[in-house]
Amino acid sequence: MAHGWNKYWSRLTRVFQVFAPRRRFRERCETLASRARALVARLRQLFSRRRRSLVGHIQLLQLGIGIVVYLLAVTGVWWTANRLSEDYFYRQATGWLTKLDELGTPLYISNDKKEFARIEKYVSEFPEVALVRYYDALDSQVFAEYNTRPVDEQIPSLTEIQLSALRTPENAYLFDRPTVRGSFIRASAPVWIRSIQSDGLLGFDLDTAKDEKLELVGFLEIGLDFTRYQGELVKNIVLGSTIIALLLFVSIAGGRQILKRALRPLSNLEKPLAKLASGEINVSVESSGHKEIVAISDALNATVSALKQRDETLRHLADHDQLTGLFNRYRFTQMLEQEAERIAREGDNSALLFVDLDQFKLVNDTLGHAAGDRLLVQVADKLKACVRGKDVLCRFGGDEFTILARHVTTESAADLAGSIIRVMRDMHFVEARQIFNIFCSIGITMIESDRFTPDELLTQADMACYSAKSQGRNCYSLFAPGADDMQEILEYAGWSQKIKQAVTNDRFILNYQPIVKLANGQPELYEVLLRMPDNGAVVSPPSFLPVAERFGLMLDIDHWVIRNAIKSLADFHNMGTNTKFCINLSGHIFEDPNLVHSIRDSLEKYGLPASTVVFEITEQVAIRYLDSANRSMCELMDMGCRFALDDFGTGFSSLTYIKRLPVDYIKIDGSFIENVSEDSIDQAMVKSIVAIAQTTGKKTIAEYVQDAKSLKMVRKLGADYVQGYYIGEPAATLALPGSSRRSKK
């Protein structure tokens, strides 16, 4: 609608411009056009359902219903009044006819026109009677008339047809409406004279019908003018209608106030709902008014309470470790930064303790992941008992814990570390009828200013912890930085910044190494390998992954690799190269509850079949994250993805877990392949692994094939696929086999 008005006014403005050469006149036309458009827009807003208030909507409905009822009532009153007045007039006309018949009879008997004076006197008492006529019976001529109407509004006499109808005894009265101005009714009647015949002088018999004689002597006509009455009726109806209309509008105005008051509790919900819609949940809805509004208010309050509880739960999950309930790495880093700022302002001292368990890997590998979780929970409880209420305890990751000890000196920080070591030394972990002594190593660094960032402080405490481990474990070490240590800290922290920037700015590089199927010599798969540029050089994973592990960046790296590897694979498929990618995953990725969802989104985004992706996990990762890894792997396999178990054969529990892990490929560790052509033990190991894989329905991949002899031997031992620099080097594009340069990936 608005577009049509704009088009109309633009055309009208152009017409004015043609016929109005003066600039001022054109400007005024344009102003009028813009105002008209604004008016149309405003009207559209007023009649828009979205902008109309509930009170206004109800009032509009009431007004519409009231107008309809008002019109129906006025119409009904008008119709009823007309009908009643007509009935009344007809009854009056009958009475007047009877009386005038009685008064006019002497006119026919004596033929004395002076008798008409009595009739005029009677008629003058009724202003409604505008006309009285008496007709002869024979020639139907008017011989007496009383008429108050003007000459130009004379009423025509009765027609012969009407007179003939009145001659019939059955027609006592005849009513019609002459075509004259105003409300006029004509009533006509025959004038009959009854006479009684006598048998002698005064010999009347009133009961004998034959003695009566009925004679038509003439006709009587009266004209009734009810214009004045109808005028009064219209006036009264208009007055009454006006009063009713005023009462209607007064009732609507009063009803608006009543509605506003009744709906005020509902209107009060508008602001809380707006805040709730904007994401603010610190709102409270007043519960008052009618029971329906109370129900809505209570439901909203319940919703707000549920949202608050959900947010508190989410905040707790975001800031705490799900297993132990302690603060997690992210929240601890924030609190560490805040503590450094406080110390800089107040000139206080605090300490950072880095606690690393010495026997956790033995328990985890021997008894399984669930037992390792139970051990971590017990250790967390022991540490809680050691720290003070103002200190902060965190599960930093894996079997590592950090403590922020506030308002302490170097001596009191050392005392705290010593007490923790004694408590842990006395702790015995019992599982499956086995008893384990749990020891720990602790690194301490003092926080005396905001000179160091949280990452640098954590690096200091970590280095001190490594120093304690090198001293024989089950002890603590205080970080005392020298020139070399400071340089190492800066380099260590610098690497973390480089990794963060590489993830954020997509600076990582993906290389692809072929995995060739021995049956046909064709590369059916390519392993995706990660590289990072640094000052013109390309750095391999061993140089930066330990830093990423220490600073909690592995999850970001995993997601980056998955996302970009799937994108690259889709690009290769679009170019006509149908192949599969093997993508390496760290153990941290299985701690992400959105892993399966994010992989599904990436596959759908690039239109890639899930069957073209093979995820690689190491044997150690699979064992450490057995439950969560198994669950995520099953969900991804249901989508169509496949899994490969990397570095198989390096762990003593390999044969125990191989049946529990839903993998399709087993990658034989390179330590068995490096000298397989000459070492009979390696040959026996490879042969055993191939036999186990064939028994369980899995394919084997022999990695680190560096020469023709090794290739010949693994083919002889029954491997399904081979990988190595002799087969093909990692490259930025999909390379073909052929290079024989010996080097690790």
Within 10 angstroms of residue 55's Cβ, the number of other Cβ atoms is 19
- Which CATH number does the domain housing residue 550 bear? 3.20.20.450
Measured CA to CA, the distance from residue 385 to residue 57 in angstroms comes to 65
**pLDDT of residue 443 exceeding 90:** yes
Residue 730 lies in a domain: no
Same domain flag for 564 and 612:
yes
Same domain flag for 510 and 652:
yes
Single out the residue in 428, 455, 481 at which a domain terminates. Answer: 481
Same domain flag for 438 and 542:
no
Are the C-beta atoms of residues 607 and 569 closer than 8 Å to each other? no
Intra-chain end-to-end CA distance of the chain, in Å: 69
Task: Using the structure block, give the residue that is written with the tokens 């008002």.
Answer: 70
Between 290 and 633, name the one with better pLDDT: 633
Tell me which residue range forms the domain holding 214. Answer: 52-196+208-264
User: Phi and psi of 173, rounded to 5°?
Assistant: -140, 155
Task: Using the structure block, give the residue that is written with the tokens 């709730």.
Answer: 276
Between 140 and 135, name the one with better pLDDT: 135
Residue 289 lies in a domain: yes
- Which CATH number does the domain housing residue 345 bear? 3.30.70.270
Helix (H) or strand (E) holding 225: strand 212-225
Task: Give me the pLDDT at residue 36, please.
Answer: 66
Task: Give me the pLDDT at residue 740, please.
Answer: 39
Same domain flag for 448 and 506:
no
Same domain flag for 464 and 550:
no
Residue 243's alpha-carbon distances to 63, 67, 75, 236, 249, in angstroms, are 16, 14, 15, 10, 10
Q: How many domains does the chain contain in total?
A: 5
Residue 733 lies in a domain: no
Same domain flag for 250 and 340:
no
The pLDDT-based confidence of 710 (bands split at 50, 70, 90) is very high
Cβ contacts of 138 within 8 Å, gap of 6 or more:
none
Measured CA to CA, the distance from residue 710 to residue 702 in angstroms comes to 10
Task: Give me the pLDDT at residue 743, please.
Answer: 36
pLDDT tens by residue, 518-536: 999 899 999 999 999 888 7
Task: Give me the pLDDT at residue 46, please.
Answer: 53
**pLDDT of residue 699 exceeding 70:** yes
Same domain flag for 150 and 119:
yes
Same domain flag for 656 and 597:
yes
Same domain flag for 252 and 291:
no
Same domain flag for 641 and 554:
yes
Residue from 284, 364, 368, 374 nearest 324 by CA? 374
pLDDT tens by residue, 138-196: 767 777 777 777 755 677 888 888 888 888 776 778 888 887 776 778 888 888 887 66
